[in-house]
Structure 1
Amino acid sequence: MRRWRRHLSAPDPARRHPHRGVRPLPAAAVSVLATALAVALTGACSPATPALRTEGAPPPAPRTPQWTASWGAAMQQATDDTDNADSADGTDNWSREGFRDETLRQVIRLSVGGPSLRLRFSNAYGTRPLHLAGATVARSDGAAKARPDTLRTLTFDHARSVTVPTGRSTVTDPVALPTANLEKLTVTLRFTTPTGPATMHRFTTATTYRAPGDRSHSLATDAFDQRASHAWYYLTAAEVGGTTAGSPSSLMVFGDSLMDGVGTSPGTDDRFSDKLVERLIATGRPKGLTNAGLAGDQLLHDSPCFGEKGTDRFVRELQSRARLRTVFVHLGANDLSLLRDGDACGRDRAPATARRLIDGHRALIREAHARGIKAIGVTIPPLTGAVFPFITPAGDTVRRQLNDWIRTSHSYDGVLDADRALTDPQHPDRIRPGYVSQDGLHPSDAGYLAMASAVDLSTL
């Protein structure tokens, strides 16, 4: 580039030596050169014409949005609260009965915003095709309220309704609704025919609302009745659009109730994943983040109450999260839990050994690496301080062995040592008092903040 500029700026020999016999060109030649120069300059400043492309080559592809996963939830089969009485949160669980002529409004909080939005819905565990007669999205104005002038009708391949076959999912068309980091949205679904048992996510800190009839375009909370649920139904992901260069990558947390956020205060967005994304935004490195935690989930065994084992559902979660680059993995605690007499949730479960758990983790790491995704292992905090019997001394020995492997084997690309971040130095078999919730097992809001603060952001 510098040599080219020097060439262009070199002085004209005729100006330096006007008497060296340089003859002026004839007028006709000057005219021809001027025309040629004009054509050359015009071509250099204009877009290439089709004639300059190889004959038969396709035209350049139009620019399309690059989607980033900004919110997500793991789905599971319908379940009764009576299946797991210890974990019932005192609100209605509507999954067994499903929905009929009514409207469902759910509230979610994005991790990162963008100029456009699309949503994903799942009928993975339905017993019949799911008919969505209509759907809307809007900025949340608190509780079930939607902010005026932001409500948008969602479409599916340009239609306002869609039928999702059993075992399948669907995605909306992009909708022009600019969103900001950490913004809350209301997502409203209209049902006109019975859904049967609902695909759902059981334990959340958010509140979901329902109302009879069509309230999909209502803005006020009083349009919905007082029945509430702390669960999400059918809604599995929210993605924000942007340009390829400007779209952030995304993270995912995967595992059991520690990732799901059991123990946090309702409506506070104080889960580990919430605190981590807030920290990323505060340090000027925002990333999308989805939560694929599932309370009660086991690494090695399916459960009729808590869903498929981690080794089975992991691949689906990896494949369904847009621009996923890093995943946190915390699993194995429920494989070590006590089986009580008559416990239908853990039937047919073989005893977990350190070797079997390590082999399960190795399988997850292989799946992540095969897709170019970093895997960060999360150690298991103490389990013996629960207010109800949860683990035997032998089980706690296996927990410590698994933690040692996560820390020292270098199989994971990084380690979040939740055990060390949460353990009480005075009582190594318990979580420290300020970091534990009322059940003595799960972290409190402060405990989840301590976990997020212990993440080495350079590993992401």
Structure 2
Amino acid sequence: MTERWVAGFRSAVISPYEQIQLSVPRGFAGQTVRQPLRLAGGGERLRVRLTNRYGRKPLVIGAARLAARKADDEIVPETDIGLRFSGAAEVTIPAGGEAVSDPVESVATAGAELALSLYLPDETGLATYSHMPMETAFVADGDLASAAGLPHAERVEARFYVSGVDVLASEGTAIAVAFGDSWFEGVGTTPDTHRRSVDLLNARLDRGWVVNQGISGNRLLTDEIGEHALARFERDVLSVPGATHVLVHFGINDLGLPGMAGLPPATAEDLIEGFTELARRARAADLKILAATIGPYAGAVYPGISTPEGLQARRQVNDWIRTGGAFDAIFDVARAVENPEDPDFIRPDYDGGDGMHLNDAGARAMADAVDLRHLAL
């Protein structure tokens, strides 16, 4: 059987030096960071991708180990293996750089819960990270990368220095990339339970899988939070090995975030132009592109987010997404989760509590809005 490397897990990262911050950046010194990685799909071998993309100094990885996760900070000791990089147990990643581990034998299946432990011996500076992954990392002093548990560890809801896991899978395995904002990353859903829309979409698939490249606060047209979609499309979609489809959900932050600074929202015309460019690039790369309508957010509790101008632009863009024919298919998230009595608001039983994000039930409705015939993995 012919095999090839494909993405089994992805984690989109941001700079800790941005002006807009939804979580507090941090660094490490003489500490072990253990973080869970749940594979969307598996294979007979795997390799881990580490990143220092936004670091301002070289990053020393004193040890990197991978194991099956038992619970919380605990691993299954007999599964623990050391990762190597060009044969070495230690690796230094230059500022702005990445490192890919040597392949390791591992029959890792879809849904497998792994624990990646990184020992960081030197002062790191602020860490390149995924800021709201709805997963808990564990931080402990000293080199405890191979310890069975970290009983006194600090709990941190973020993911550091990891951008993905590749798996060796059979030729023809199809990979979709969920490329978007917090409605993919999972804000509003229950942490550490894998109830994000992408997780629930994967549970519906019989073959192939979807990897999650959502960034909470991310915008289609403007940097922060994270590089904007048009800027990161090459890295976070086109460079994903095995990618055949891309699902996009953008727009809420283009329309809402400017209001927090007293600025006008993006216009419908600008958003339509940006979506059209995404579709053009996807098709040029022979990817199928599925677009979500922009979800409702009129009930947002954050000052300045919900404005009449932004909500009107949302309605205009959604009408265009539904009828414009720019994409291979759409999934009408807005209709799936809106309050029938006031469609600019999230349905009360789907509201994550802030009027802007989906809870577990809402995330399921979002996942169910995708017609699997169009995904066809």
Same fold (TM over 0.5): yes
Aligned partner letter, 2:298: T
Alignment-derived partner of residue 410 in structure 1: 325
Please state if 1:365 is matched with 2:279: yes
Alignment-derived partner of residue 10 in structure 2: 72
Q: Specify which of 210, 219, 224 is matched with residue 289 of structure 1.
A: 210
Which structure 2 residue ranges, 5 or more long, are not aligned? none
Decide which structure has greater strand share.
2
Q: Specify which of 311, 315, 318 is matched with residue 396 of structure 1.
A: 311
Percent identity, please: 38
User: Cα 1:340–1:331, aligned 2, differ >3 Å: closer, same or farther?
Assistant: closer
Aligned residues: 374
TM-score, normalised with respect to structure 1: 0.78
Aligned partner letter, 1:221: L
Give deviations 1:216-269, integer Å, cap 9, x for gaps: 1111232xx341111100100011113426xx2111111111111110011111
Give deviations 1:7-58, integer Å, cap 9, x for gaps: xxxxxxxxxxxxxxxxxxxxxxxxxxxxxxxxxxxxxxxxxxxxxxxxxxxx
Alignment-derived partner of residue 200 in structure 2: 275
Alignment-derived partner of residue 168 in structure 1: 97
Q: What is the Cα deviation at residue 320 of structure 1?
A: 2.9
Q: 4+ runs of 1 displaced by more than 6 Å? A: none
Aligned partner letter, 1:399: R
Alignment-derived partner of residue 227 in structure 1: 154
- Alpha-carbon distance in structure 1 between the residues aligned to 2:219 and 2:242: 26
- Where do residues 24-63 of structure 1 align in structure 2 (5 Å cutoff)? none
Asked whether the equivalents of residues 34 and 139 of structure 2 are also in contact (C-alpha less than 8 Å), the reply is yes
- Alpha-carbon distance in structure 2 between the residues aligned to 1:179 and 1:339: 43
Give deviations 1:152-179, integer Å, cap 9, x for gaps: 1101111111111111211111101111
Give deviations 1:316-372, integer Å, cap 9, x for gaps: 11233110011111111111115457x4xx9xx664111111111111111111111
Decide which structure has greater helix share.
1
Asked whether the equivalents of residues 134 and 189 of structure 1 are also in contact (C-alpha less than 8 Å), the reply is yes
- Where do residues 373-452 of structure 1 align in structure 2 (5 Å cutoff)? 373-389=287-303, 390-452=305-367
- Alpha-carbon distance in structure 1 between the residues aligned to 2:343 and 2:271: 22
In terms of Rg, which structure is larger? 1
Aligned partner letter, 2:306: I
Which structure 1 residue ranges, 5 or more long, are not aligned? 1-62
- Where do residues 7-406 of structure 1 align in structure 2 (5 Å cutoff)? 65-78=3-16, 83-84=20-21, 87=22, 93=24, 95-96=25-26, 98-222=27-151, 225-244=152-171, 248-280=173-205, 285-303=206-224, 306-337=225-256, 339=258, 343=261, 351-389=265-303, 390-406=305-321
Bigger relative contact order, structure 1 or 2 (CA pairs below 8 A, ≥6 apart): 2
- Alpha-carbon distance in structure 1 between the residues aligned to 2:239 and 2:197: 21
- Alpha-carbon distance in structure 1 between the residues aligned to 2:178 and 2:330: 13
Q: What is the Cα deviation at residue 212 of structure 1?
A: 1.0
- Alpha-carbon distance in structure 1 between the residues aligned to 2:56 and 2:67: 30
Query: What SS does the aligned partner of 1:141 have?
Result: strand
Asked whether the equivalents of residues 134 and 185 of structure 2 are also in contact (C-alpha less than 8 Å), the reply is no
Query: What SS does the aligned partner of 1:186 have?
Result: strand
Q: What is the Cα deviation at residue 79 of structure 1?
A: 5.2
Asked whether the equivalents of residues 182 and 216 of structure 2 are also in contact (C-alpha less than 8 Å), the reply is yes
CA RMSD in angstroms, aligned pairs only = 1.8
Q: What is the Cα deviation at residue 120 of structure 1?
A: 0.5
